[in-house]
Amino acid sequence: MLDRKERRRRAARARPFPEPWQTTLQERVPLYRRLPAGDRDEFHGLIQMFLGEKNFEGAGGFEMTETVKLIVAAHAAVLLLRRPTDIFPKLSSILVYPSEYAVKEQFANEDGFVEEIDEERSGESWQTGALVLSWEEIERDLSDSLQNVVLHEFAHQLDAESGDMTGAPILADRDLRRR
């Protein structure tokens, strides 16, 4: 018998993927245009499940839209393709700022005194269930395939699935783990 979460996921995967979403992905997400046709159904299902399970919030005056959610979800789904894993099980919320945001950082200086500085960030991933992103950086990354803050931060979420951030996600395939 299927549990409630699996029934919800099956229902999400069974819904037709909206044509306007496909158009948005085709126009805005370079990774989508490179996706083999054989992976599209799985990819669409992952996006729909992700959007049904994760909470998105705008911060610093940012207005959350369906397009923002779709673009973030598409990048997250790329990392899950052909991978037997849950859908970022420790993640519950994605917080999006309009641009870089300041975080207070404390560090000990050379004299041993603790100093506090404001550090500008474009993304971060927490093991406590949240991921933070800068929309300005996401948009910049959509035109530059050499870097991608969304992929980077969601890779940290995969890494944290084991409970520790070791630099490598849990791999089901024994040969991949060994390598």
**Residue 179, domain member (yes or no):** no
**Residue 87, domain member (yes or no):** yes
Return the pLDDT at 167. 53
Return the pLDDT at 20. 97
Return the pLDDT at 14. 83
Give the C-alpha distances (Å, rounded to integers) separating 142 from 71, 86, 89, 95, 154: 9, 26, 26, 18, 16
**Residue 174, domain member (yes or no):** no
Q: Report the CATH number at residue 133.
A: 1.10.472.150
List, for the chain, all residue ranges whose pLDDT scores fall below the cut of 70: 1-2, 144-145, 162-179
Per-residue pLDDT tens digits for 7-59: 887 888 888 999 999 999 999 999 899 999 899 999 999 999 999 999 999 99
**Residue 170, domain member (yes or no):** no
**Residue 178, domain member (yes or no):** no
The total of structural domains in the chain comes to 1
Return the pLDDT at 12. 81
**Residue 171, domain member (yes or no):** no
The boundaries of the domain holding residue 142 are 4-164
